[in-house]
Each structure stands twice: as C-alpha cells, then as structure tokens.
C-alpha cells in the first residue's frame, strides 16, 4: 500500500509523537509498503527523508516549525496519515482534500489540555484556520487569546474541522477514544496503541548507577519525559518527598529534562528533595532500555498524556509502573490519585513490598509483550483499508459522519 505520513514533530526529537511515527514508518517499510514521510528537517535541505520538509527552529525550544512550501509528492498515495495539526499536518490534509485521498488521523496529543500551557497552540490554531480557509471572523480569532471556556470552545470548533475531513480516527488509548465525546461529529474511531520498539541497550544497571552517582543499594525512582508544567513535575517532586520520609536513601532520576532544569531545581528545593535528585538530559532512544533496567519503579505524574508510551516501554523491561492517571492504568498498572500523599504512598508501597513489586512488574511485562508489532501493523492496515472504503462510500465528503456512540461502537482494534 502507498501511504504518506505527515508529522510536525521533527526526526530525532525525544517525544512520543516522533518515536511513534518513526516506529510506524519503520514497520510499514519493513513489511514492503511504499511510505513517504513528511517531517521537519534543517532549513536548507529538509529532513533525511527524500520528501523532508524545510523548517526553522523555535528559539529556546527543542522544536522546529515546518515551512508551508513542501517538496512534491513522489508518488500519489492511496492513504494520507496525519499525525499532528501543525503546518505539516495541515499541508497533508489540504493535499488529500485536493486529490480526493482518504485521511487517517492519529490523535497523539491532547491539545485542549496543553493549550493552557503553550501559547504556540493558539498561534497554530489561527494558522490552521487560515490555511483551511474556514472563514473565521476577527472575533473568532480573538477567542483563542481568551483563557477558559471561550478558547476551549474555539479549539473544539477547529478540531471538528479536522475530524470532518477524516475518514478514520486513531486513538492511541481507550482514554483518548473516550475524550472525543466533546465533538459533535466523529468518524469511526480505532484504538491502536503504539507498540514498544525499544532496542536492547548495552548499558548495564551497575554502570548506569555509578555514572549517576547513586548510592549502592539505593531505591531508585525513575521519571521519563520533559518536565514541562503540563507533565506536573511539582506533583512528582512533592510525592517523592513523601517517599524520602520512609526511605531516606531513595533517589529520583528525572530523564529527559532539557530547558526546564532550573525550574525543576526550584521545585525540588521547595519540596526538600534536591539532594536526592538526578537530572538527566534526553538520551538516544537506542539506550533507553538501560535506564529502565537501572531503576526500581517508574513514577508517572502526568494526567494529560494520550497514551504515555514510556509506560509500556518500562513494562517491557520489567519495571513496575505507578501513575497518577487512572484513565491510563488498566488492570496491570498501579494508579493513585494525583495528590502528593496518595501518589507518594503508592510509590513507597512498590519499593517496600517485594510481592507487590513482582506482581506489578510481571503483569506489566505480560501486557507489553501481548501487543506485538505484528498486531499493531495488522490493525493499522485494516484501518487504512477501512478509510479507503469510507472514501468510496462518501467520495464528496471523505468521511462517514457518525454520532459519538456509533463511532466508539465501530472500533475494531484494541
């Protein structure tokens, strides 16, 4: 099958979207499918892909913005797969609309939740409305600048425009699938999580612990991801303060902290845990497995993630997970309310109860292994074929509008 992927998260960025897209493209190509990937790359030459998009960096942020002028499509795809609603994703949506090609969209990011933390979402929404020629008035654009219900309503309105141009909507978790109830019309929703494609790491447990100056035998709590406000590092650090009361030798390793180092250190000093904290910059995905094996528990404080790919990655390495988002928990994960006392107590229980530690680790590993890359690829290809069928049934619209209830009932992958 010929598929064109459009993603605004640039290659090599250590976020879930970039990792998920890279894994999907790799699996499709490995199975012999013809895949074109449009993704931001350097200004002068685009990404390493033949159809890479030229981009400019955002100052003080590990982000690149794709320029609106794209390289030509080498081959007309049978399906367009949109991963993000930024300039690159919008370009893919416009191309599909102009050439009557079915669109599959993966809802990787909860932009409604993130909009309170990232000003660029409002600018991006305004750009999207203009590029899609939605006919917004000045008052419509001004609503994006007003925090609260007005901004949210305008973003929902924009999201509806994306959904109305989509044949099949992919949710990476049941939590995300349920979140579409806010929209009036939703195309058929398929729940297709990103599989774990983490390679083995040459880094040993003892070697990593020494490099991080961790005391011998110290219980190690690991947190993975950028420590921006929407990930709730304050909750994590306050919960870890509760862990230290019971386990004073414990250490917290926060992996993936880049621009937020000083903000995290201020929070750590306020919580009284700075002496037990280790901050690590993002590392190549190829060596991540070693960090999971080095730790004793993964603590996940965010309640805004759509899947939390690091959860499955940790579980695949036998690391038990404690998270503050019950909607992502499932039967194999230990969840706790997102308050410092409850979350900290749950982390402490896993560290001090060998039987619980073993049960959570074994259940997590079994769940991660059950969702294979082959199963993911099968579900994805079935979604693509369903999109083609929907396009043929409704060629003028490109989507089959459905109520939310009917959409969720249409899910055939899990």
Domains identified in the chain and CATH numbers: 2-195+373-409 (3.40.50.2000), 205-370 (3.40.50.2000)
CA-wise closest residue to 87 among 104, 103, 64: 64
Task: Give residue-wise pLDDT tens across range 149-161.
Answer: 888 888 889 889 9
CA 356 to chain centre: 28
Which H or E run contains 157? helix 149-164
Report yes or no: 6 and 386 within 8 Å, Cβ to Cβ. Answer: no
pTM (predicted TM-score): 0.83
The answer to whether residue 117 scores a pLDDT higher than 80 is no
Angle at 72 between CA 71 and CA 75, to 5 degrees: 135
Separation of CA 382 from chain center: 22
As a whole number of angstroms, the distance between CA 181 and CA 184 comes to 8
pLDDT, one tens digit per residue, over 225-275 is: 988 888 999 999 999 999 999 999 999 999 999 888 999 999 999 999 999
Beta strands in 192-247 (DSSP E): 220-224
Cβ atoms of residues 37 and 7 within 8 Å = yes
3-state secondary structure of 279: strand
Q: Determine what percent of the chain is predicted with pLDDT higher than 70.
A: 84
**Low-confidence winner among 245-249, 332-336, 347-351 (lowest mean pLDDT):** 332-336
DSSP string, 131-156: HTT----HHHHHHTTSTTHHHHHHHH
């Amino acid at each position: 099958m010929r598929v064109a992927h459009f993603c605004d998260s640039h290659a090599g960025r250590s976020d879930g979207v970039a990792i998920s897209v890279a894994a999907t493209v790799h699996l499709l190509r490995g199975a012999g499918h013809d895949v074109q990937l449009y993704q931001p790359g350097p200004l002068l030459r685009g990404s390493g892909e033949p159809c890479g998009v030229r981009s400019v960096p955002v100052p003080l942020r590990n982000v690149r913005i794709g320029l609106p002028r794209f390289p030509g499509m080498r081959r007309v795809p049978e399906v367009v797969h949109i991963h993000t609603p930024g300039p690159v994703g919008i370009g893919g949506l416009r191309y599909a609309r102009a050439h009557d090609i079915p669109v599959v969209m993966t809802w990787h990011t909860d932009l409604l939740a993130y909009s309170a933390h990232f000003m660029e979402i409002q600018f991006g929404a305004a750009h999207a409305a203009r590029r899609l020629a939605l006919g917004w008035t000045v008052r419509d654009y001004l609503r994006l600048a007003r925090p609260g219900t007005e901004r949210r309503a305008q973003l929902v309105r924009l999201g509806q425009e994306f959904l109305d141009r989509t044949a099949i909507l992919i949710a990476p978790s049941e939590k995300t699938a349920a979140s579409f109830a806010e929209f009036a019309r939703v195309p058929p929703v398929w729940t297709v999580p990103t599989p774990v494609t983490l390679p083995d790491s040459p880094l040993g447990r003892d070697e990593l612990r020494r490099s991080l100056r961790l005391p011998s035998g110290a219980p190690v709590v690991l947190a993975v991801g950028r420590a921006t406000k929407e990930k709730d590092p304050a909750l994590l650090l306050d919960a870890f303060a509760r862990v230290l009361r019971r386990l004073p030798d414990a250490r917290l390793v926060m992996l993936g902290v880049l621009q937020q180092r000083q903000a995290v250190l201020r929070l750590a000093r306020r919580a009284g845990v700075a002496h037990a904290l280790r901050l690590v910059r993002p590392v190549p995905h190829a060596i991540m497995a070693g960090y999971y094996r080095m730790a004793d528990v993964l603590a996940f404080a965010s309640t805004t993630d759509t899947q939390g790919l690091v959860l499955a990655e940790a579980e695949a390495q036998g690391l038990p997970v404690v998270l503050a988002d019950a909607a992502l928990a499932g039967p194999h994960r230990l969840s706790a309310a997102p308050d410092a006392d409850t979350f900290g107590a749950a982390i402490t229980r896993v560290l001090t109860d060998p039987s619980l530690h073993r049960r959570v680790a074994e259940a997590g590993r079994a769940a991660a292994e059950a969702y294979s890359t082959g199963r993911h690829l099968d579900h994805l290809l079935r979604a693509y074929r369903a999109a083609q069928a929907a396009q043929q049934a409704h060629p003028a619209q490109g989507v089959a509008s459905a109520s939310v209830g009917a959409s969720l009932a249409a899910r055939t992958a899990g």
